[in-house]
Structure 1
Amino acid sequence: MSGKVSRQWLQWANKIEDEVNCDVEAGLDLGKNLGDYLLKSQNYIDRRKLICLLKEELGNLLSEEEIDIIANATQNCVRDRIQVKIQSTDVA
């Protein structure tokens, strides 16, 4: 196993626990840090698709380096916004 937790795996594990009516809690015990762990373990935007879209729309105006900078900034912005959402639900 790669050590990365995918959304599909989490859904599968949750379904199995529900089916057997228990909470195994196997694996890392991240507790309140689970949101941070998930944010760091996966990108919420498919980078390849993002780059393709930016090149299609802006490729004649911007260099590949500039498009890469925009893609990085976009992914970071999405990660930060999701982190704020997760933290606000942790507090509630």
Structure 2
Amino acid sequence: MEKQTEETVVDLMQLMLDEEWVREAVRIEEEAGCDIGAGFELGANLGEFLQNPSGFADFFELRSVIISEFIKLLASWNLGAGMEAAVDCGRQLLLQRLLAPSPEVQERLLAMYSQELAAQPRISENERSELRFLLRSILTESDWEAIATAAASAIREQVMIRQQVVV
């Protein structure tokens, strides 16, 4: 059960640094007319939080590795003019999904990070395969559809701009 407490701390701290999430939380509280809280309460557990600053840093590093691998995956698909839009859309969706991944995904990410990614500056092919599998687990089918739509829209925009320039 203690492991869940550490995971909750990491998620809460990430949320508190996400300006968009904070705005949404304030909006929801204003609609509800009261303070809404869940999970790790820093007031009562501040000492416990201060004893685990590495969990906070580990989450940022893990998130960075996941996003980097996501970008490499999209680059391998040769999306051309749609690449930047696909990355932007996918990054937003990934960050959103990583705020509350399923327990299974959390467990795999934490195990992967603590065992392999933390000890090595480079990612092996096995780790890359595992990360890509997790990416496909983290993002939903509708997320992938949104990424594809963003890429297609960017390509369409490029075609429309270029056809006007052609003489």
| TM-score normalised to structure 2 length | 0.25
Q: Structure 1-normalised TM-score?
A: 0.39
Q: Determine which structure has the larger helix proportion and give its number.
A: 2
